Amino acid sequence: MSLGGKARAKFLCDAERCIECNACVTACKNENEVPWGINRRRVVTINDGKPGERSISVACMHCSDAPCMAVCPVDCFYQTDDGIVLHSKDLCIGCGYCFYACPFGAPQFPQAGNFGSRGKMDKCTFCAGGPEEDNSQAEFQKYGSNRIAEGKLPACAEQCATKALWPVTVMTWQRFIANALSLVASVQEPGAGELPTRRKAANSLTDRRGSPRLSVLLT
């Protein structure tokens, strides 16, 4: 199963909700049996220990026009109908160019040998496996779980305790924004909207200072 090719898969992370618990990193590593020494996902903390500290969980952003796909000297990347960027470890030569091209530092390389030679690149697959047959043993060994084929969401986002990390399609996100905007519009009408409703509407789009949320900006 896929998302039907009608939408593009994206990760969104709400920095107002992320509590830097690193459960997404652990869940990903466990679900996909990520090679020793590397993690497909990382939690970035901004202004750590200071007022206004925020955290955000980052992995592959599954770019629409992905630089890694463009630069790869062996052309090992491909994009599914759902916009998930995947790659073939059979072709990958571990040159590391995708890491230099990636704006978000997503590709990871297990140490393979001497003189900086790296093993096959490993990165977030949106829990959608790789080119092998869905949920085959070969696919699991190389790329980890294919939860998308099972009709499930990526493991990191599914277990996020504060619901900071969302695996959404752009369509879902647009619908969410539209709903929130209509909610904001409705509470502006005189007499409408109790305080909780108004707060809910405002919280969904903006932070407590009234500026747009990081998740809105990163979309």
Any residues with CB less than 8 A from the CB of 94 and at least 6 apart, and which? 109, 112, 117, 118, 119, 120, 121
Sign of CA dihedral 163, 21, 216, 79: negative
Question: 128 or 214, CB closer to other proteins?
Answer: 214
Give the separation between CA 146 and CA 75, rounded to whole angstroms: 22
Question: Residue 22 CB, nearest distance to other proteins (Å)?
Answer: 5
Question: 7 or 40, CB closer to other proteins?
Answer: 40
Interaction site with other proteins (CB under 8 A): 15-16, 20, 22, 25, 38-39, 42-48, 50-54, 56, 58, 67, 70-76, 90-97, 99-105, 108, 115-117, 207-209, 211-214, 217-218
Question: 51 or 191, CB closer to other proteins?
Answer: 51
Give the separation between CA 57 and CA 164, rounded to whole angstroms: 9
Question: Residue 2 CB, nearest distance to other proteins (Å)?
Answer: 23
Question: Residue 144 CB, nearest distance to other proteins (Å)?
Answer: 17
Crossing angle of helices 195-205 and 170-188, in 10° steps, is 140
Residue 88, both tokens: 């073939």
Question: Residue 96 CB, nearest distance to other proteins (Å)?
Answer: 6
Question: 69 or 149, CB closer to other proteins?
Answer: 69
Question: 2 or 219, CB closer to other proteins?
Answer: 219
Any residues with CB less than 8 A from the CB of 146 and at least 6 apart, and which? 125, 127, 128, 129, 134, 135, 139, 140
Question: Residue 160 CB, nearest distance to other proteins (Å)?
Answer: 15
Do 217 and 12 meet the contact criterion of CB atoms below 8 Å apart? Answer: no
